[in-house]
Structure 1
């Protein structure tokens, strides 16, 4: 369906599930370095301690405009749960990250052309009660989700911290409660059915 989940305008003080995949569903992360570069780009544009690029030019200023609550990187796609504070911040962030990562990827693998399948997709989360369910959906993308390195699950469990990641905006569970929540298979399946109006077309 053309244009599905492509948001024209992102409202302030609003939550969005943002995602994209490789063109023709191709792999966009081949090894740990690729995953690490994408995470480093999140830090570059969102960490308040990061100011300038290697040439002394400032990076785009979205540090106060958007927050990341959760993320997961998979071989051919990625998921982000974002909160927009300032108008236009999500678009600036995603354009910068996707452009920078595509440049890195094409240089590394000697390829040309688009890396991602068009503009990134986004679903507004209008019901705040769904936020924990969306975070669980994101964190459970990998089969081995409890040991998957390239997601924010360890940050949610308090095993790791990052200044550019803010799970506390929506997470009010301690480690044990969230572990129980994320591992509840029956509730997970039921929640996917309950939020079926939110379309996930990453396959």
Structure 2
């Protein structure tokens, strides 16, 4: 049976999850993670995107800026440094409020800003990431079959409270890398979990708590996000409260061990 077409409304927010088929690894090393981040930024564009061309433009920009920084005051007189925004020639189709990359899946919170923007963005991002993966790991050997699990999952976010929960849910996802099953079993070491999240690069959480990481991705929605979450400290507090709540599960379980109900 044909699948029902999903309708995404302009101006509305959606929580997106995209998983590798059979939960196989999606990001194997730091290069894969950087490619994922680069894809979130570059494929947010209604125009055709050639990744190699965009990388070359960025390389030239970095060289240009490095040359300017090496000039003496006299040599640099009249030379106007370019900004990264001048390199940004995208025609955006979504606004990215949050992202978290995990080894076998990723989470996004997106606002659609043009008709069919979310579907187009996910199609471009997904096919681009799959093409990169096959080229890097399989080369000329053709790989058959699907790369992702069916289509991406999307949940409509209808109010601020749901949005706050979605942010915290996404930002705390990486804890599973150091404490598997923590959502059901609780967190054994809350302090370690907090520290781990504040060092986990492949998430927008760092930029939201004032640690510069990949600020250009969520820049357009940063003010709105800060208002909803109560600023950088509100973001940190919401995450820490959730961690402490999960840590409390362990304490309750340990207290019950002291009693016998025979």
Equivalent of residue 169 in structure 1, options 224, 228, 231: 224
TM alignment of 1:84-163, pairs within 5 A: 84-110=112-138, 112=143, 113-143=145-175, 144-160=196-212, 162-163=215-216
SS at 2:42 equivalent: helix
Deviation per residue, 1:80-108 (Å, 9 max, x gap): 00011211000110000000000000111
Q: Is the 8 A contact 2:17 2:154 kept in 1?
A: yes
Deviation per residue, 1:44-95 (Å, 9 max, x gap): 12389x9863469xxxx97433100001000010000001121100011000
More strand by share: 1
**Where does residue 46 of structure 1 map in the other structure?**
44
Deviation per residue, 1:17-37 (Å, 9 max, x gap): 001111011111110110100
Q: Does 1:74 align with 2:126?
A: no
Q: Is the 8 A contact 2:42 2:90 kept in 1?
A: no
Q: TM-score, normalised by structure 1?
A: 0.78
CA distance in 2 between counterparts of 1:44 and 1:7 reads 26
Structure 1 unaligned residues grouped into runs of 5+: 190-203
CA distance in 1 between counterparts of 2:37 and 2:134 reads 17
Equivalent of residue 64 in structure 1, options 67, 71, 92: 92
Structure 2 unaligned residues grouped into runs of 5+: 55-88, 176-195, 247-262
**Where does residue 198 of structure 1 map in the other structure?**
none
Q: Is the 8 A contact 1:46 1:164 kept in 2?
A: no
Q: TM-score, normalised by structure 2?
A: 0.62
Residues 46 and 169 of structure 1: is their aligned pair in 2 closer, same or farther, counting only changes over 3 Å? farther
Q: Is the 8 A contact 2:18 2:107 kept in 1?
A: yes
Q: Is the 8 A contact 2:45 2:90 kept in 1?
A: no
- Tell me whether 158-167 or 20-29 shows the greater mean CA deviation: 158-167
Equivalent of residue 16 in structure 2, options 2, 5, 18: 18
Q: Is the 8 A contact 2:101 2:202 kept in 1?
A: yes
C-alpha displacement of 1:187? 8.0
Name the count of aligned residue pairs: 180
Deviation per residue, 1:93-129 (Å, 9 max, x gap): 0000000000000111116132111111100011232
Structure 1: which 4+ aligned runs deviate by more than 4 Å? 186-189
Residues 79 and 188 of structure 1: is their aligned pair in 2 closer, same or farther, counting only changes over 3 Å? farther
Q: Does 1:180 align with 2:232?
A: no
CA distance in 2 between counterparts of 1:47 and 1:23 reads 26
